[in-house]
Copies of this chain bind each other. A is one copy, B any other.
C-alpha cells in the first residue's frame, strides 16, 4: 500500500509556488494577492479561511481577509464582490461557503468576475473546464488530479467510480478523470444517492473517489485488491475525549480498506491540504494571466 500523502505533496507544491513568488519579487514584479470573504462565525469556515491566509503568508503572497458579520445583507455582500472585481490589486478571491441562509449563494457566485474566480465555481469557468479550455479548475478536483499525476497513478483505460454528484467535487472530478491527458482517459461511473447496488460498482472499480461525507461508508468488502482510493470526505465527528471536541473522519474505513489498496489518501492529510495548495496555484495563475 502506498500512501497518497497530500500533506507532503502540498508542501512541495507550496515550495514551488514560493520559489516563483521569490523570483517575481526579485524582478520587482507585483506578487499574487488573494482575498477571502468570510461572513459569520461558522467554526469550520473560520478554520479553512485561516489556513488559506496562513498559507499565503508562508509562500509570499499578499492576502486580505474580509470578515463580515452574520447580519450582512445580500446587497452589502454584492457591493463587496463588486469592489473586489474592480480592485486591480486583487488577483483572485474566494467567498467562503456556506453563506448565511438569507443570502442567495448562487447570486453571489455569479457576481464574481470569472477572471478572479480562483475557486472555479462560476459557471463560465466550470463550462470551460468541462470543454477543456483554459480556466480555473476548482481546488478540490484540481488537487486530486495533481495528486494522481505526481504519484504517477495510471488512470488511462481504468474504471473510476466517483461517489457523490456535488457541483464542487463529484461532478467536476468525474469530468476531469474522463478527459484526455495526464491522469485522464479513465472510464468514469458517477454514483450517487439514487444508485442501486453501489457495492457491485465499487467492487469493479480500479479507482474510487468518495465525496459523500458519510464517515467510514466505504468498507473493505466494497473494494477489490489493488484499488486506488481517494477519500474526499472530511466529517467532524463529535468526540469529547479530544481537546477540540471532535475528530476528522473520511468516507473510507482506512484501517481495513488500506490493506487492499495500492494507493490511498489518509484523512486528514490527503485531499484537504491539496485543496489549499491548488487554490494558491490558481491565484498564481490569475496573477500570471492578468500580467499577460
Chain A residues at the B interface, C-beta cutoff of 8 Å = 106, 122-133, 135, 156-157, 159, 165, 167, 171, 174-175, 178-179, 185-192, 194-196, 201
With the chains together, A165 CA to B191 CA distance in Å?
18
Q: Report B-chain residues with C-beta under 8 Å of the C-beta of A126.
A: 127, 130-131
A163 to chain B, nearest CB (A): 10
Copies of this chain, complex-wide, total 2
A160 to chain B, nearest CB (A): 10
A178 touches B157 (CB 8 A): no
A201 to chain B, nearest CB (A): 7
With the chains together, A175 CA to B131 CA distance in Å?
13
With the chains together, A165 CA to B122 CA distance in Å?
23
A196 touches B130 (CB 8 A): no
CB-CB nearest in chain B for A187? B195
A127 to chain B, nearest CB (A): 3
B187 touches A189 (CB 8 A): yes
A167 touches B131 (CB 8 A): yes
B127 touches A130 (CB 8 A): yes
CB-CB nearest in chain B for A188? B190
Residue A130 contacts which of B130, B156, B179, B187 (CB distance < 8 angstroms)?
B130
A195 touches B157 (CB 8 A): yes
B167 touches A171 (CB 8 A): no
B187 touches A187 (CB 8 A): no
Residue A124 contacts which of B127, B132, B165, B171 (CB distance < 8 angstroms)?
B127
A164 to chain B, nearest CB (A): 11
- List the 5 shortest-distance A-B pairs measured between CB atoms, nearest first: A127-B127, A123-B127, A126-B127, A189-B189, A185-B194
A258 to chain B, nearest CB (A): 26
B195 touches A191 (CB 8 A): no
Which of A123, A156, A174, A192 gathers the greatest number of chain B CB atoms within 10 Å?
A: A123
CB-CB nearest in chain B for A184? B194
With the chains together, A124 CA to B114 CA distance in Å?
10
With the chains together, A72 CA to B127 CA distance in Å?
29
* Selected A-B contacts with CB under 8 Å, 19 pairs: A123-B128, A123-B130, A125-B127, A126-B130, A126-B131, A127-B128, A130-B130, A159-B196, A165-B179, A171-B175, A178-B192, A186-B194, A187-B189, A187-B191, A187-B195, A187-B196, A187-B201, A188-B189, A188-B190
A96 to chain B, nearest CB (A): 19
Which of A128, A131, A157, A188 gathers the greatest number of chain B CB atoms within 10 Å?
A: A131
B196 touches A192 (CB 8 A): no
Q: If the complex has contacts A165-B178, A190-B187, are A196 and B127 also in contact, measured as CB distance less than 8 A?
A: no
A108 to chain B, nearest CB (A): 14
Q: Report B-chain residues with C-beta under 8 Å of the C-beta of A124.
A: 123-124, 127
With the chains together, A128 CA to B132 CA distance in Å?
16
A157 to chain B, nearest CB (A): 5
